[in-house]
Structure formats: structure tokens, C-alpha cells
Amino acid sequence: MSLESFFSNFFFENYWEKKIFHIKERNFINSNELIDEIDFFLSRKDVHLSNVRIVTKGIDIPSKLYSYSSRNLKGVEEFFVEPLSLITHFNEGGTIVINSANESISILRKLCFDFEKKLNMNFQANIYITPPNSQGFKPHYDNHDIFLFQVKGTKLWNFYKDGFELATNFSRKNEVNEIDFSLSLEEEDLLYLPRGIVHEAFSENQSSIHVNFIGKPRYGFNLVEDFANLVQDKFVFFRKTMPTKYSDNEEKQKYLSLFKENIKQVIDNFSFEDFNENLSNSHYKTSSLNLSGRFRNIIEVDNITEQTEIKANFNMCVLIKEENGDLIIKLKDIQMIIPKIIDSSFVNKLTSFKVKEIQGLLSNKGKIEFAKQLIRFGVFEIVDLT
């Protein structure tokens, strides 16, 4: 299953930030491969304590009960997860939580990157491993939207009538109203859970594993923050000192009147595109990188010829803009300039092409050297060296 089942006009019009969306489709993740990666990760002796926690009914088990310390070569004490203790607490009813699992588990890293490309926001994946007939968390609502995938076992979810619409702060609920409805998630089910809906979950007669893909979007109040930064740069009035405690009421009222006039002027003359550009800049700088295949490309790049097939590397989140006729591609804090003498239409080409097919005022040797630059930069990859 592709992410298209979620990211459609139907989903955004009817469910996004509104209500729960449950679909039963298969092949979103290879569950066996994911479980193998989880098993390998949790059996290691070098997993930092910050990556794992154990909870039962909303209470964190003290980390000292499943960790050990060791000093690194610089003499700094570090804390790591002790795998056998982790298993012991799991067998006693504790839910194992792997935070930001996309940083350690390749399958989830790729999926988070796919989510980011679709929604233009950052994502992280958390894993929840719960023993049979157990509960990890008491009723609560989250301050982020969740795309949940049930990897193994079944889990009963209760959703309550109270909550906080479009919450941006996390909250546990000590008192809850009646259950609105319940839902049993089976293996490979997908669920969208909007932030602010109070929920709890119980594993049933076998162990359960589920993954939460957590979106980190920008909200309306972030737009207000951007707005403040923009007016600071462009309007002298907003860089002036506000009335002080020594100012009389007439001065304060005059300032307030001018403030309202200037705010109105800014709003009337401002384009939403200014904020969109700021959003794009923010996302590409903080987005995760899928570096799969990058090393192989770097060590093979010197062998390419004019017959080599290359294609755009859509695993990289880049910012592309035109400046003085040149095309500028930015990747994090580095950039590459494609001069106007080269036809830059190949940048957005979805299919592979041969190096010799690059159009512009370049010799075949120049095309090979230019292709090497693209590959070393990371925005293109080798398909076939030939």
C-alpha cells in the first residue's frame, strides 16, 4: 500500500484535524523485516538510555532499573540500556517505548522521509511494544497528529468524548467522560488520530507492536511568530520602544492607535507567499536525510562515462530557486549552482537519462564532470554505470 490511501483530497477534506480515519490495507510495512530490525536494535549493548523508556499504566519505570553506565574515552559517563533487564520488565507487564526509532531503524527512516515529502513537515516514528493483556498509558490526548500502524498482535483502543480540540500541549486525563467508541486494531491496520482526542489502548491475548508516525507541522500561531519577525525587519515602527511606565495615558493611546494602523497596513500589503517561502526554508533545513545508497554513489562516481544513466535523487529534501538566471539547489547548509548555460529542466525529470543527454553549452567531457558534481552533491544518483 502506498501513502496515497491517506494523502488524498478525500482524506484532507473529511478527516485531517477533524476525526479518526481507520483503513484496513496490507503491505504498508514489511512487518517481519521491521520486527527483525527491532530485535537487533534492542539486543545491542550500545543503545543510549535516551532512546528507550518502559512504562506501565502511565507510570515510567525508573531507568536505573534497566540501564548501566560506562565512561567513554574522554572520561564522560554515559548511560545505556541493559537488554536483559529490559526483557525482564517487559515480561512483568511493562511497555517498551523506542523514541525517534527512525534514527536507528532503516525501514522507519525511509517511511518518515516519505511522510515528510508528502506533507512538507518533519516526522518521527516511535515504537510501542506491549506484552499481552497490558496497558502502557492511561487515558490522555497528544499534542500532535498521529499516523498509527499496527505491526503485530491486536490492540483495543478506547476513544473518549472529552478532549481538547486541536491541542498543542500534551495532557494526561485524571478524569474522563464516557467512552465515545472503541476500535480493535489488527495486524497491518492503519489509523489516523487527530491531536486532542482522548484515548487509551490495551493489548489483548498476545504481545502487540505498533508504530506512531508523528507529524510536526507549523500551526497558525507559528505564522504569527513569523509575522513578528517579518515586520521587525521591514517596518521601522515595530522596532520602536513601547510606552514605558512613565508615559501618560495620551501617549499610550496614541501608540495603540498607531500600532493598529501599522498592523492593518502590514496585513493589507502582505502576501501569504512570504510565509510559504519561510515554511519551505524551515522544512528543508530541519528535514531528515535518507542517505541510503549515497556512499556507493560516491565511490563509483569517478567511473561514469557519457553512457552512464543517472536520475534525480528524490530521497533528498532540497530547496530549488532561480537567481539571476542560474538555478540554485540548496541541501542543508550547502548549495550548488547550475549556470544558465546548462538547460536545468533535467532537475525535475522523473525518469533516468544518460549523461550525454544533458543539454547546454557543454562538451561531452564537460557533461561528465558536471554529472560528477551532481552525484557528489547528492541530488542525483547512478542508475547504470554501463
In a domain, 285, yes or no: no
How confident is the model at residue 274, as a pLDDT?
59
**Does residue 44 share a domain with residue 22?**
yes
How confident is the model at residue 312, as a pLDDT?
83
pLDDT above 80 for 223: no
Each residue's pLDDT tens digit, 199-219: 999 999 999 999 999 988 888
Range of the domain at 340: 294-384
Residue 40, exposed/middle/buried by CB under 10 A (0-12, 13-18, 19+)? exposed
**Does residue 166 share a domain with residue 150?**
yes
**Does residue 166 share a domain with residue 108?**
yes
pLDDT above 80 for 172: no
**Does residue 233 share a domain with residue 202?**
no
The answer to whether 97 and 127 have CB atoms below 8 angstroms apart is yes
**Does residue 81 share a domain with residue 201?**
yes
pLDDT above 70 for 173: no
In a domain, 288, yes or no: no
How confident is the model at residue 222, as a pLDDT?
78
Reported confidence tier of residue 135, pLDDT bands at 50, 70, 90: very high
pLDDT above 60 for 249: yes
pTM for the model: 0.77
Higher pLDDT, 176 or 130: 130
pLDDT above 90 for 80: yes
Q: Out of 271, 303, 337, pick the residue that ends a domain.
A: 271
How confident is the model at residue 29, as a pLDDT?
86
Each residue's pLDDT tens digit, 94-120: 999 999 999 899 899 888 888 887 887
Q: Out of 152, 187, 216, pick the residue that ends a domain.
A: 216
In a domain, 280, yes or no: no
How confident is the model at residue 175, as a pLDDT?
63
**Does residue 86 share a domain with residue 29?**
yes
Give the percent of the chain with pLDDT over 70.
89
In a domain, 289, yes or no: no
Tell me which amino acid residue 29 is: I
Reported confidence tier of residue 170, pLDDT bands at 50, 70, 90: low
**Does residue 232 share a domain with residue 379?**
no
In a domain, 168, yes or no: yes
CA distance 12 to 192: 11
CA distance 76 to 370: 45
**Does residue 322 share a domain with residue 335?**
yes
Average pLDDT over residues 171-195: 85
Each residue's pLDDT tens digit, 250-295: 999 999 999 999 888 888 877 666 555 555 555 555 566 666 778 8
In a domain, 277, yes or no: no
Q: Are strands 189-193 and 326-331 parallel, antiparallel or unpaired?
A: unpaired
Higher pLDDT, 214 or 169: 214
Each residue's pLDDT tens digit, 329-383: 877 777 888 888 888 888 777 789 999 999 988 999 999 999 999 999 888 899 9
CATH number, domain of 326, equals 3.90.930.40
Residue 269, exposed/middle/buried by CB under 10 A (0-12, 13-18, 19+)? exposed
How confident is the model at residue 278, as a pLDDT?
56
How confident is the model at residue 290, as a pLDDT?
62
Give the percent of the chain with pLDDT over 90.
53
Higher pLDDT, 27 or 157: 157
Average pLDDT over residues 137-158: 94
CA distance 347 to 73: 45
**Does residue 298 share a domain with residue 264?**
no
Average pLDDT, the chain: 87
How confident is the model at residue 256, as a pLDDT?
94
How confident is the model at residue 303, as a pLDDT?
93
**Does residue 182 share a domain with residue 74?**
yes
Taking the alpha carbons at both ends of the chain, their separation in whole angstroms is 33
**Does residue 308 share a domain with residue 238?**
no
**Does residue 234 share a domain with residue 208?**
no
Pull the grid cell for residue 39: 530485535
In the chain, the number of structural domains is 3
